[in-house]
Structure 1
Amino acid sequence: EAGFVWAYEFVGPKQRYSRLFRSHTVEQALGSTAAHSARMQQAPASTVQRMQEEAIPAEQERIREQVWKEAEASDRLVLGVDDFAIKKGHTYNTGIHNLRGETMLDVISGRKLDDLRAYALQHPDFRQLSPYAVVMDLAPTYHTWISECFPDAIRIADRFHVHGYVIESLQAVRKTVQSTLSPRAKALLKSQHRLLNPPKDTLTEESQKRLEILLSYSPLLRSVWEWKEAFSVWYDNSPNHAVALLGFDRWCRQGDQIDHVAVRATLKTMRHWKDAIVNYHRCRFTNATVEGRHNRIKAYQRRHYFTRNRSRYIAGILIECNRHRLLD
């Protein structure tokens, strides 16, 4: 209840809260909301929000400087580039990530090639990076942009996205087979179709038995499932890039034996992006941590109701995605 007119080590002039209380309250609010932190600290929500707003610019600047210095000093820097939705299907941002350092470097407004080129022109520090490899999905825009900015970097197609194309073709075949089955078998295949997606060795013994029942419905479905399993084996067991090239061609020939439009479309995509897909075996990094970071961004956007101030929005995301750096 006291106010201080002199400056002490533990409290500033004309302040009612100690520096330790302010820092603890701000750290708690960054991971949730000002209202939640106010309830926990038994302080007015407006006071906690003011503390948070005063702390965000300094924290964001400190974190940005730290993560960029780390990226610039990295000997074999591996970048990850991926988009995340502000409004799904309408508005997107692009995130730039340091995969080796497990940090998020920056947020770009938009995902079109003009937006990416404009960012590179406005941020010369980005062009000064020397990444050994860059991981991204199969969007031509990202590959074009990275080849312009870093022509010597290895461009790697993210394993998660690549494997998604194979899963989609498997499910397309499943729907085709499903329409030809009896009502009982059709209902069973439809209700348990997710058993087809994961590798067999990750399933429980009971799930493997149910999977065998589903595969027994159609030789076509079994052949596509085995083709999907072979792709996972190729990813996991190829010892080097040269062997991976041979294994990829062998896997494509296995797919050529399957007569289905979805499989043919997937093979066309795979052959087009062959170099980027096989480059995974030159530098085994994926955007798995990036996808997890996207979940944190979505949670942040829901908590803060999509902050209208662009600079504050980006600052909040960078702090949210690099919070483990706050303790350094």
Structure 2
Amino acid sequence: MTINISQHILGLKGQRVNEIKLDDGGVKIVIHCSRDARRRAIDPATGQKGSINQHVRRQVNDIPLFGYPCVVEIELAQVYINKGERRIEGCDFVDKGCRFTHRFCRLISGLCRHMSIQAVSRHLDIRWETVKNIDRAYLIETLPTLDPAELTGLEYIGVDEVARAKGHDYMTVVYDMVGGHLIWVEAGRTAEVFSRFLKQLQPDTACKIKAVAMDMGPAYQKAVRESLPLADIVFDRFHVMKNYSKAIHNQRRLEFRKADPSGKELMKGTHYLLLKNADKLSEKQSDKLQRLLESNSNLNALYVLKEQLQLLWSAASFEAMAEQLERWCLIADQSQMLYLKKFAKSLRKHCVGICNYAKHKLTSARIEAGNVSIGMIRKRARGIKDTEYFKLKIRQSSIPDNQSMLYLALLRFVE
């Protein structure tokens, strides 16, 4: 006896549900269907109407139902066109040769956005390779293309490098700094890789780009100067202060070696206190930092100069910022600290790019936010060996996930 279930509930277009039951082992739900006789037999290759030569049956996996794995047994027609031409008709809810319905593939890909492939594999009892291949195929089919030739209205862009795993296979990512979204990702971190993106831009788009935010690496600078000669290069505050933090770290390590036992004891646990802003410190931390600065003049000078360096980005104009930067460097030159002098030399070398901030007020905050998302992907997977798959995951991470709550709610339901 046919069970009358609305197609809007099960979504098995072209099939009539005959029976829903647990299999003999009681471990999965099986939905037995037969082909809807009212449906015409259409040849999937030519789109022509044909006659039914015979019916074939196949099983496909569907989303879990009531806490059980679910299998749908469907019936399809072998379409006869002429002698020697017989093909199995297409099915709206599962691809040819695939053992999973479209909605199950969508669920798997949605879970892979928040969980590792291994976790999804264990939870749904599907092979690791199958989960990855389903996620990869779904992303290829659904993600919008990133074609630089189609980009318009760009004014500010940002470029950075990310690694597939620590120290392995770096990739170049490019963001629209106004819209805040990813516009390109490609393997490699050379000038040639970034130039490839810039050369694909339409001439009227490229000429309107006012500035490019980046770190101080020479490769991307070279690409911008060759392909966007009218655009300014802006070195972000984040990267400048990150480099200064390295100078503090190296000098503190040097001071620790020179200190006596009591001085070494005082320096223990103060690394991050030197890097933190004063308003972020607790009262206990402030007291400990104050004792350290009073006992070590070099570290005290580094800390004061750090606060003065941060004031650079409040300058009203390029000229004022450049003048303030030079005064800071002169003070650094007068010190006896090698790492500080080396940092001041780097500031002078990159002075124009740093002070271009006053002209454009451009920061790489969007890039760093994107890098955090990419870092979470890498950490969750403990590195991704497949570079092309990693590119797809990066592109996915830049798109708002409107179905996250649905996927996670379904996951809890399945549990």
- Structure 2 length-normalised TM: 0.66
Hey, what does 1:286 align to over in structure 2?
Answer: 363
CA shift, 1:197, in A, is 0.9
The one-letter code sitting in structure 2 at the alignment partner of 1:158 is D
Superposed counterparts of 1:43-122, under 5 Å: 44-45=126-127, 48-49=131-132, 51-60=134-143, 62=144, 64=146, 72-74=152-154, 77-89=155-167, 91-118=169-196, 120=198
**CA 1:4–1:306: 2 relative to 1, 3 Å:** same
Hey, what does 1:32 align to over in structure 2?
Answer: 115
Larger radius of gyration: 2
Q: What is the total number of aligned residue pairs between the two structures?
A: 317
Hey, what does 2:341 align to over in structure 1?
Answer: 264
Taking only aligned residues, the RMSD between alpha carbons, in angstroms, comes to 3.3
- Structure 1 length-normalised TM: 0.81
**CA 1:18–1:276: 2 relative to 1, 3 Å:** same
Q: Is the 8 A contact 1:63 1:325 kept in 2?
A: no
**CA 1:264–1:51: 2 relative to 1, 3 Å:** closer
1:72 match: secondary structure:
coil
The CA distance in 1 between the partners of 2:391 and 2:254, in whole Å, is: 45
Gaps spanning 5+ residues in structure 2: where?
A: 1-29, 32-72, 77-88, 404-415
CA shift, 1:30, in A, is 2.9
Q: Is the 8 A contact 1:11 1:19 kept in 2?
A: yes
The CA distance in 1 between the partners of 2:146 and 2:194, in whole Å, is: 19
2:255 maps to 1:177? yes
Q: Is the 8 A contact 1:120 1:127 kept in 2?
A: no
Hey, what does 1:204 align to over in structure 2?
Answer: 282
Identity over aligned pairs, percent: 21
Hey, what does 1:324 align to over in structure 2?
Answer: 400
2:400 match: secondary structure:
helix
> C-alpha deviations, 1:243-286, integer Å up to 9, x for none?
32332222223323322222211111111111101111222232
Q: Is the 8 A contact 1:98 1:104 kept in 2?
A: yes
CA shift, 1:241, in A, is 2.9
Q: Is the 8 A contact 1:238 1:281 kept in 2?
A: yes
The CA distance in 2 between the partners of 1:31 and 1:56, in whole Å, is: 14
Q: Is the 8 A contact 1:199 1:232 kept in 2?
A: no
Gaps spanning 5+ residues in structure 1: where?
A: none
The CA distance in 1 between the partners of 2:383 and 2:203, in whole Å, is: 30
The one-letter code sitting in structure 2 at the alignment partner of 1:324 is P
| Higher fraction of helix | 1
2:302 maps to 1:219? no
The CA distance in 1 between the partners of 2:318 and 2:110, in whole Å, is: 45
> C-alpha deviations, 1:163-182, integer Å up to 9, x for none?
12222222333233333332
CA shift, 1:43, in A, is 6.3
The CA distance in 1 between the partners of 2:117 and 2:167, in whole Å, is: 30
The CA distance in 2 between the partners of 1:295 and 1:112, in whole Å, is: 22
